[in-house]
Structure 1
Amino acid sequence: MSDVVDLTCDLIRRASVTPDDAGCQAMLAARLAQSGFAVESLRYGDVDNLWATHGDGGPVVVFLGHTDVVPTGAVDAWASPPFEPVIRDGLLYGRGAADMKSGVAAMVVALEEFVRANPQHPGTLALLLTSDEEGASIDGVRRVADEFRRREQRIDWCVVGEPSSKTVLGDLIRVGRRGSLTGRLRVHGVQGHVAYPEKADNPIHAFAEALAQLTAIRWDEGNDAFPPTSFQISNLHSGTGADNVIPGDLHAVFNFRFGTASTSASLRERVEVILRAHSVNFTLDWWLSGDPFVTPSGKLRDATLASIAEHCGIVPEQSTGGGTSDGRFIAPLGAEVVELGPVNATIHKVDEQVSVSDLQRLPALYGSIIGHLLQA
């Protein structure tokens, strides 16, 4: 068994369901310290964050990942216990196998191997880990980024080890991400008897026409980097359960995934204009999970493409699709950001798995990116 496989198994055995790190970062910190890394723990609330660096000055190359995982769901639905790693038919099974303990292990091994071969490398190599990526994402990299602003910590290039690949290792890299804006809406009405609607104010009726317009509108046309903005209702609830009561309020949760053709401010304003135009009596709370970002063609994208060509023999799709990642907090610091990791077909699923062959190739792939960036 290879070092990276053993390390991935060690991480999977730790039931680090978000935001519990379950000792993953302490174990990795001790290991990196033995390779000459300076390690710092940044704990905020219930969240552990690890910042490990080797070298000094610029350029600064950061590998970014998370040690937390999503809950397992029904344990008896798994073919083997989710926190007991098992290899079957060339696949490593366990919660976090793909998302993203394999990526974390590969980044650690790549950094160790690179500094062993290049102890006097130029610039700074760093690893940033959090236990709050799968959860609220408040006390994780978001908080660390605030601390980095205070310190004026420079980051030139950031490789996020999220599972980006679709069917084979390296067939897709993320070069940006859409922004995510959530609205939590309450429509205020007046409860009453359905036989006396003149004495009540039905919030469902009040919201119906506005909802039709919100779901029909084309928010923007997108651009070369991003598709058009999408709007989706994720939760809608009203009523008491009785068939003879007009409800007193309605609750809706909706989300925008948007690129740079719109802004969070413009989307908020347009929604509220539509609600007011339909005379909806409402309260609306907004949560911006992150703004969109895109990394232009440049040294990081070139290094990533060259490394994939060398180690995978393919030309990857360069995408800004998918959900969000912690890269959204690093890009505003002025860093170029790409995401590259194993196949994501089973992430968050029962019997989550990663190809052992892919896992064994991943450290060399990450190490090649470092080499291209630092020209070591």
Structure 2
Amino acid sequence: MVSIEERIAERVEARGDQIVETLSALISFPSIVMSDPTKAGPGERDCQLYLQTRLEKLGFTTDLWDPDGPALYEQYKGRPGANKGRTFEGRPNLGGTLKGTGGGKSIMLTGHIDVVPPGAREHWQTDPFEPVLKDGFLHGRGTVDMKGGVACMLMAVEILKELDVPLSGDIVFTTVVDEEIGGMGSLAMVDRGFRADAGIMTEPTANRIAPLCHGILWGRIILDGIGGHAELTPNAWYSSGPVDAVQLCRQMLDGIDILNRRWMFDPKKTHPLMDMPNQIMVTQINAGEHPSSTAGRAEIIIDAQYLPHEKDEFGLGGAVKREIEEHVANVCQADPYLRAHPARVEWILDADCAEVPADHPFVETFQSAVGIAGLSPKLSGFGAHSDIGLPTGLGNTPTVNFGPGDPAQSHQPNERVSVRDLIDCTKAIALTVHRWCR
């Protein structure tokens, strides 16, 4: 006799084309998140309306709402996810609940539908918002980060409903906006009251269970020089000018390299589930005012990582901020001009992190289901930031990352995910829901 889990696995395999079609539909919505939220287009809303229709056909009670960004910021100021200046008019979150028969454990399936801009079109071999299936891969912006995971969690529920699999616990389904710019969409989701006994956030992990993610700090290191004519001999170096801010920038970059080398051998900066120690990545450099003038000002934008055990009393990266600020101050002490005119650090973003213990009952249940699906149950860390800290910490919903695709494909041109990954992910999620909620 065929077991119910064998039936689930077989049905997922048979529905591979529908999984691809679902993801293709999601990709076709250009749900680009903007640094200025007032300039966002209709893509986020259109994508959420599509998902709402699919959920309601399955019997979900749904909630589609535009979060109140300023009110959320005032309520949670200084806490994870609270980012000043974010607004959500026409950019809704979506949540839904499918009630179980009662008495079982609930699960939340969650993800984000916003994507980063595609960048230069000439770097793409296909239109980023016209999905193309080629050689077993679906191409398009968001295939990996992270509409692929959203498609899998939706199809997993649809297949369980199709097979009439009995579930005692509720399924909570949420998709948020604004993840790629700081996570306020997830804060709004948790504040709205969506929670469960455990959760899966379908960020791309190459179908590995990742109960841990990094916290991320974005910062701006400002170096004030003194502008002058680039082609003439300076006559008052380090007094009235000029002082080349590009040269000061080089010195600060060397200082960042020194701190990174120190962190590589600092046990506080490593975790057994992470491939690499914490690092500070320089992601932008802005300097100069005119081709024939020495730069009077330079800015170095950094992206720095921290681990859950480094969180401060507010659940954020305050201690790591201070560590970086002290190092920047020490670098300035080595230069006579910077000693008198020290660099300033302004913090742009602090996105929190979380870890669910490996021996948590949900992690163990998830590992067993992943094994049945033919995947490795070995745990891994999620090297980038994800929003698991908000449902885990604020929402009391222990949430792990698990999703299809190579995470290194995220934000790249020609982003793509394999159909095999999509099928395997859908299978693992469906089996986990069955085991956890029965």
Q: Distance in 1 between matches of 2:298 and 2:221?
A: 8
Identity score, percent:
25
1:13 maps to a residue whose letter is: S
1:90 maps to a residue whose letter is: G
TM-score (norm 1): 0.84
In proportion to residue count, which structure has more helix? Answer: 2
Q: Distance in 2 between matches of 1:35 and 1:321?
A: 31
Q: Distance in 1 between matches of 2:32 and 2:23?
A: 16
- Give the match for residue 124 of structure 1: 170
Q: Is the 8 A contact 2:24 2:131 kept in 1?
A: yes
Is 1:34 paired with 2:57?
A: yes
Q: Distance in 1 between matches of 2:29 and 2:294?
A: 50
Q: Is the 8 A contact 1:185 1:253 kept in 2?
A: yes
2:277 maps to a residue whose letter is: P
Query: 103-112 or 222-231: which moved more?
Result: 222-231
Secondary structure in 2 matching 1:295: coil
Is 1:230 paired with 2:279?
A: yes
Secondary structure in 2 matching 1:175: coil
Q: Distance in 1 between matches of 2:388 and 2:218?
A: 19
1:215 maps to a residue whose letter is: D
2:188 maps to a residue whose letter is: R
Q: Distance in 2 between matches of 1:85 and 1:209?
A: 45
**CA deviation string 1:302-324 (max 9, x = no partner):** 12221221112x42442224211
How big is the shift at 1:50? 0.4
Q: Distance in 2 between matches of 1:93 and 1:242?
A: 41
Structure 2 matches for 1:22-171, cutoff 5 A? 23-44=46-67, 45-46=88-89, 47-55=91-99, 59-75=105-121, 78-115=124-161, 117=163, 121-134=167-180, 136-145=181-190, 147-148=191-192, 151=193, 153-165=194-206, 170=207
Structure 2 matches for 1:1-376, cutoff 5 A? 2-18=17-33, 20-21=43-44, 23-44=46-67, 45-46=88-89, 47-55=91-99, 59-75=105-121, 78-115=124-161, 117=163, 121-134=167-180, 136-145=181-190, 147-148=191-192, 151=193, 153-165=194-206, 170=207, 172-192=208-228, 194-197=234-237, 198-200=239-241, 202=243, 204=245, 212-217=254-259, 218-219=262-263, 220-221=266-267, 222-226=270-274, 227-242=276-291, 245-263=293-311, 264-277=317-330, 278=333, 279=339, 280-297=341-358, 298-312=360-374, 314-333=375-394, 334-344=396-406, 346-374=409-437, 376=438
**CA deviation string 1:134-184 (max 9, x = no partner):** 3x2354213323x24xx4x5432111112210xxxx3x3322111111221
Quickly say closer, same or farther: Cα 1:266–1:307, change in 2 above 3 A: same
Quickly say closer, same or farther: Cα 1:113–1:88, change in 2 above 3 A: same
Quickly say closer, same or farther: Cα 1:255–1:107, change in 2 above 3 A: same
1:25 maps to a residue whose letter is: Q
**CA deviation string 1:224-281 (max 9, x = no partner):** 45553312332334334455x5543332212211214534222222333344442343
Secondary structure in 1 matching 2:411: coil
Structure 1 segments unaligned to the other structure (5+ residues): none
**CA deviation string 1:184-220 (max 9, x = no partner):** 1223344456232232373746666565444313244
How big is the shift at 1:122? 2.5
Structure 2 segments unaligned to the other structure (5+ residues): 1-15, 34-39, 68-87, 312-316, 334-338
1:71 maps to a residue whose letter is: P
Q: Distance in 1 between matches of 2:273 and 2:134?
A: 40
Secondary structure in 2 matching 1:174: coil
How big is the shift at 1:339? 1.6
Q: Distance in 2 between matches of 1:360 and 1:302?
A: 22
1:53 maps to a residue whose letter is: T
- Count residues in correspondence: 363
Q: Distance in 2 between matches of 1:192 and 1:109?
A: 62
Q: Distance in 2 between matches of 1:246 and 1:232?
A: 26
Quickly say closer, same or farther: Cα 1:191–1:361, change in 2 above 3 A: closer
Secondary structure in 2 matching 1:71: coil
In proportion to residue count, which structure has more strand? Answer: 1
Q: Distance in 2 between matches of 1:339 and 1:77?
A: 29
- Give the match for residue 10 of structure 2: none
Quickly say closer, same or farther: Cα 1:158–1:356, change in 2 above 3 A: same
